[in-house]
């Protein structure tokens, strides 16, 4: 990557791409609605484009992004998808593959899903098994539990589910299958997970209800086409937040960022560690909470993260490891074995990234331990094709006097195209 000024400050106002998790759901639910929906702020990252292109292959007309970033989706209702002419390529997007499993389980045709080498290595059974319990007909075509797979549409009854894996993707796949089937369902959620699907289903008129861990989608639910304005992606914002905290003299204002309670674990943890972060102008837009986030450079202290705190911070844990290396004390993360099942084994890839920059990180089967106040130096980082590892290394490069070289930095386009340019613009 190009040189960035070490030990500079980060100052100014910035925006981040639309929320990736919400964007997938906006495209899928707009496709299943009746009529034209307008999605504003749809991000252009590779994962979201994978969902868009799969829906186009299923017969849904989706416009190219307008000058203001808005996209129009011509929904065809719950039974309007067509038989795809080829295998649906989910590329590197686990969300695309898992949520499409739900949608396609209730169609009147057969289809197949595949992805790139990285996605082929990620687990699918966590979604496939509960869908099969519902009555879905899904077969693995090569390796048990992995893509590629074939889905034969089936009639799905009203069912009661208690997912064994605390995963918003699993929950969303079951809701999408029940919606597309017209059967409805009840879900018992022992551990709360991101509720983007529930919020959007409610906003689009499905009649879904949520109370005390019980989620109920009524039989015969329909979706109304509407205008959806997506909040900025807090996972993308987290890298700018981290840079502002680490660089002395920094003050950064991030506009229109989603602050869904299920996604704020990173911010809550940082505040507990001593970070100067405030949420301003909090409001609700299209069912999702938004705010401006103000960040000032701060001296951090160590923390321990485990148990029910993990789902709300899982995507930001590699970045937290970098922050922990600059905090006072020793930080420990447990109960995060899920990290080993991401785009890379993020426990090992995080430790390897830090080691390349002179930072010791002890790996655990379900997490890691990092001692603070370590000095970083330049080096060569293998991103392992993982966008979050690559972006964390970019942030780390701001703390080194020597260059940091990152392999396959292009993988950052999965979630934040233009990230390097934006962070360079903010450095003073």
pLDDT at 138: 98
Structure tokens at 109: 């045709």
Fold designation for 20-229: UDP-n-acetylglucosamine1-carboxyvinyl-transferase; Chain (3.65.10)
Q: Is the dihedral of CA 233, 238, 244, 247 positive or negative?
A: negative
Which of the four pLDDT bands, split at 50, 70 and 90, describes residue 311? confident
* pLDDT tens, position by position, 204-223: 999 999 998 899 999 999 99
* pLDDT tens, position by position, 235-251: 999 999 999 999 999 99
Range 41-68 average pLDDT: 95
Domain ranges for the chain, please list them: 11-17+231-426, 20-229
Which of the four pLDDT bands, split at 50, 70 and 90, describes residue 428? confident
pLDDT at 343: 85
Q: Do the domains 20-229 and 11-17+231-426 match in fold?
A: yes
Residue tagged active-site, from 19, 114, 315, 382: 315
Which of the four pLDDT bands, split at 50, 70 and 90, describes residue 1? very low
At the top level of CATH, the class of 11-17+231-426 is alpha beta
Range 120-137 average pLDDT: 95
Counting residues of the chain whose pLDDT is more than 70, the rounded percentage is: 98
Secondary structure (3-state) at 270? helix
* pLDDT tens, position by position, 88-122: 999 999 999 999 999 999 999 999 999 999 999 99
Place of tokens 């889905």: 151
**335 classed as catalytic:** no
- What's the Cα-to-Cα distance from 254 to each of 10, 47, 238, rounded to whole Å? 12, 23, 10
pLDDT at 127: 96
Q: Strand runs (DSSP E) across 359-426, as ranges?
A: 362-364, 367-371, 379-381, 404-406
- Asked whether the beta carbons of 164 and 189 are under 8 A apart, the reply is no
pLDDT at 76: 97
What are the two backbone dihedrals, phi and then psi, of residue 278, each rounded to the nearest 5 degrees?
-130, 145
- pTM of this prediction? 0.93
Q: Which residues does 211 contact at the CB level (< 8 Å), separation at least 6?
A: none
pLDDT at 43 over 50: yes
* pLDDT tens, position by position, 151-168: 999 889 998 988 888 889
pLDDT at 2 over 70: no
Range 370-391 average pLDDT: 96
Which of the four pLDDT bands, split at 50, 70 and 90, describes residue 7? low
Q: Is the dihedral of CA 138, 144, 146, 149 positive or negative?
A: negative
């Amino acid at each position: 990557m190009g040189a960035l000024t070490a030990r500079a400050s980060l100052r100014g106002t910035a925006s981040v791409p639309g929320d990736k998790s919400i964007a997938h759901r906006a495209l899928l639910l707009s496709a299943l609605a009746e009529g034209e929906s307008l999605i504003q702020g749809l991000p252009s990252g590779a994962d979201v484009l994978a969902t868009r292109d799969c829906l186009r292959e299923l017969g849904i007309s989706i416009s190219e992004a307008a000058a203001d970033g808005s996209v129009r989706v011509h929904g065809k209702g719950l039974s309007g998808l067509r038989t795809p002419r080829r295998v649906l390529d989910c590329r590197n997007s686990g969300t695309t593959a898992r949520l499409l499993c739900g949608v396609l389980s209730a169609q009147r045709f057969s289809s197949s899903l595949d992805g790139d080498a990285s996605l082929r290595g990620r687990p699918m059974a966590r979604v496939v098994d509960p869908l099969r319990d519902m009555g879905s007909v899904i077969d693995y075509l090569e390796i048990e539990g992995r893509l590629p797979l074939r889905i034969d549409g089936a009639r799905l009854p009203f069912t009661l589910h208690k997912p064994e894996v605390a995963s918003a993707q699993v929950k969303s796949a079951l809701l999408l299958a029940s919606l597309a089937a017209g059967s409805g369902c009840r879900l018992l959620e022992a551990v709360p997970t991101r509720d983007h699907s529930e919020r959007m289903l409610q906003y689009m008129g499905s009649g879904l209800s949520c109370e005390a861990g019980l989620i109920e989608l009524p039989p015969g639910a329909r979706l109304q086409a509407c205008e959806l304005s997506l909040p900025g992606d807090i996972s993308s914002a987290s890298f700018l937040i981290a840079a502002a905290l680490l660089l002395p003299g920094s003050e950064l204002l991030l506009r229109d960022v989603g602050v869904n309670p299920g996604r704020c674990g990173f911010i809550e943890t940082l505040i507990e560690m001593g970070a100067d972060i405030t949420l301003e102008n909090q409001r609700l837009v299209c069912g999702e909470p938004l705010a401006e986030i103000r960040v000032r450079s701060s001296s951090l202290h160590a923390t321990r993260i485990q148990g029910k705190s993990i789902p709300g911070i899982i995507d930001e844990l590699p970045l937290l490891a970098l922050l922990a290396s600059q905090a006072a004390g020793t930080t420990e993360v447990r109960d995060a074995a899920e990290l080993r099942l991401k785009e890379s084994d993020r426990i090992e890839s995080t430790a390897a990234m830090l080691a390349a920059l002179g930072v010791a990180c002890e790996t655990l089967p379900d997490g890691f331990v990092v001692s603070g106040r370590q000095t970083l130096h330049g080096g060569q980082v293998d991103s392992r094709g993982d966008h979050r590892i690559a972006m964390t290394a970019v942030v780390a490069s701001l703390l080194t006097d020597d260059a940091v070289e990152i392999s396959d930095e292009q993988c950052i386009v999965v979630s934040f195209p233009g990230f390097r340019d934006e962070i360079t613009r903010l450095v003073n």
